[in-house]
């Protein structure tokens, strides 16, 4: 699903001025996602396009057949929380070695010019299983090099495409190659629009710093980048469910002043930061006046989504509290809880947030990230006794 920045852009400029023509030659879409999220992706696409049906799929990868009277543009937006990357599928590259497959990739693409090459592996395990983290692998980097070497029109590639770590610019056409297996490559393409679509496989390359006290550092950093929440430097940010403190560390590294709310112990390295305050309580036990000077809220509590949203609602709807934007992790204890996400988004909108979006981040486990922003931000009138 689109970042808040993309939602804002779409409100201002309907459509893209650089939109390529409809592509009648591709009658399949591809989506890559976390292993386990495939049914959630299928349900989302079925709700949006009832005549688009799932075809070939593997764990973490689904292709969909598009009916002939329903051609898709390469900038199509699946509006899916669980699709990490999506595009038009052109089929599998053939060949016994990577050089042959690389030539086959360009034959499948045909005369279509692209500015960038994205290559990534499908996930081979559930996130967290045996410490697996979805990422661009050395095999993907190697395959990408072979594909770039075989490019028949290298002058059309963007100069900075040499470095796979650099994102596509908005509007660029991107060749997509998914390593389904090391020797089985699925080829497609898409037009970069949203933040996620600018990165190979929707994965932003980032490394957790050695001093990070939990992998929540990665989730917070990715959530901030995906959502593009316009949090000004030195803002106060409250975090519900802050222990042991990786996400707080990420917020502190951006120069924010962080108030962590959690009955559990914070790591001493986080407590030592003068810009961090720990309220060692449950969210419901914090007096509302503690939130008076705070305009940004994040939440990552290991409780059911309804409980998280109850706790957040009690804060943001209080007459003396003015929260402008939020990043909320919603845990999906069972995958069936995915069907309730549209209701959760509507609930957050009903509190006065007009830009609301959700995505299963690369670093999320069985959970999603919900971003909300009130834009423009209208403060509640000050209540005087
Ligand atoms: C996934 S951990 C949070 C990780 C943390 N964000 C980090 O950066 O390390 C979930 C946390 O939610 C806290 N929690 C659960 N219920 C809570 C509540 N009602 N109020 C505040 N914190 C709560 C737990 O104590 C636990 O520390």
pLDDT tens-digit map of 303-326: 999 999 999 999 999 999 999 999
Q: Burial letters for 11-46: b for 16+ Cβ neighbours within 10 Å, e otherwise?
A: eeeeeeeeeeeebeebbbbbbbbbbbbbebbbebbe
For ligand 1, the distance from its centroid to the CA atom of residue 329, given in whole angstroms, is 11
- Give dist(CA 287, CA 208) in Å, integer: 34
Q: Is the pTM of this model over 0.85?
A: yes
Of all residues in the chain, what percent are helix, strand and coil, respectively (each to 5)?
30, 20, 45
For ligand 1, the distance from its centroid to the CA atom of residue 282, given in whole angstroms, is 9
**pLDDT digits over 142-194, tens only?**
999 999 999 999 999 999 999 999 999 999 999 999 999 999 999 999 999 99
Say if residue 376 is preceded by a cis peptide, omega within 30 of 0. yes
- Give dist(CA 228, CA 23) in Å, integer: 31
- Give dist(CA 139, CA 145) in Å, integer: 10
For ligand 1, the distance from its centroid to the CA atom of residue 302, given in whole angstroms, is 6
Closest C-alpha to ligand 1, atom 13: 241
Residue 299, helix vs strand vs coil: strand
- Pull the structure tokens for residue 383: 């209540």
Query: With a 6 A CB cut-off, is 282 part of the ligand 1 pocket?
Result: yes
Q: Tell me what the mean pLDDT of segment 119-143 comes to.
A: 95
Distance of CA 182 to the CA centre of its chain: 25
């Amino acid at each position: 699903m689109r970042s808040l920045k993309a939602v804002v852009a779409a409100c201002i400029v309907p459509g893209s001025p650089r939109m390529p023509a409809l592509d009648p030659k591709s009658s399949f879409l591809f989506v890559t996602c976390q292993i386990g999220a495939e049914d959630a992706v299928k349900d989302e696409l079925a709700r949006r396009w009832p005549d688009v049906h799932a075809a070939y799929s593997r764990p973490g990868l689904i292709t969909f057949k598009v009916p002939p009277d329903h051609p898709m543009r390469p900038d199509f937006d699946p509006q899916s929380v669980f699709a990490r990357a999506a595009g038009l599928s052109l089929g599998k590259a053939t060949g016994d070695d990577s050089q042959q497959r690389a030539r086959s990739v360009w034959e499948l693409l045909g005369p279509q010019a692209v500015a960038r090459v994205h290559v990534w592996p499908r996930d081979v395990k559930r996130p967290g299983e045996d410490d697996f983290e979805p990422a661009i692998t050395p095999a993907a980097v190697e395959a990408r090099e072979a594909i770039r070497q075989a490019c028949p029109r290298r002058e059309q590639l963007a100069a900075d495409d040499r470095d796979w770590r650099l994102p596509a610019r908005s509007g660029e056409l991107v060749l997509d190659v998914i390593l389904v297996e090391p020797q089985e490559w699925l080829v497609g393409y898409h037009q970069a629009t949203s933040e996620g679509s600018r990165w190979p496989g929707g994965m932003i390359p980032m490394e957790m710093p050695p001093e990070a006290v939990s992998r929540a550092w990665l989730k917070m950093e990715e959530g901030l980048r995906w959502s593009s929440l316009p949090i000004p430097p030195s803002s106060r940010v409250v975090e519900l469910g802050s222990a042991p403190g990786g996400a707080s560390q990420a917020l502190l590294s951006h120069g924010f002043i962080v108030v962590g709310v959690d009955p559990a112990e914070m790591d001493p390295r986080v407590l030592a930061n003068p810009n961090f305050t720990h309220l060692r309580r449950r969210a419901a036990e914090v007096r509302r006046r503690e939130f008076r000077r705070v305009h940004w809220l994040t939440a990552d509590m290991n409780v059911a989504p309804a409980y998280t949203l109850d706790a957040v609602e009690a804060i943001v709807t209080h007459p003396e509290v003015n929260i402008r934007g939020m990043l909320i992790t919603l845990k999906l204890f069972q995958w069936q809880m995915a069907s309730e996400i549209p209701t959760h988004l509507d609930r957050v909108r009903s509190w006065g947030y007009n830009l609301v979006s959700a995505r299963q981040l690369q670093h999320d486990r069985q959970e999603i990230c919900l971003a909300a922003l009130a834009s423009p931000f209208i403060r509640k009138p000050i209540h005087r006794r």
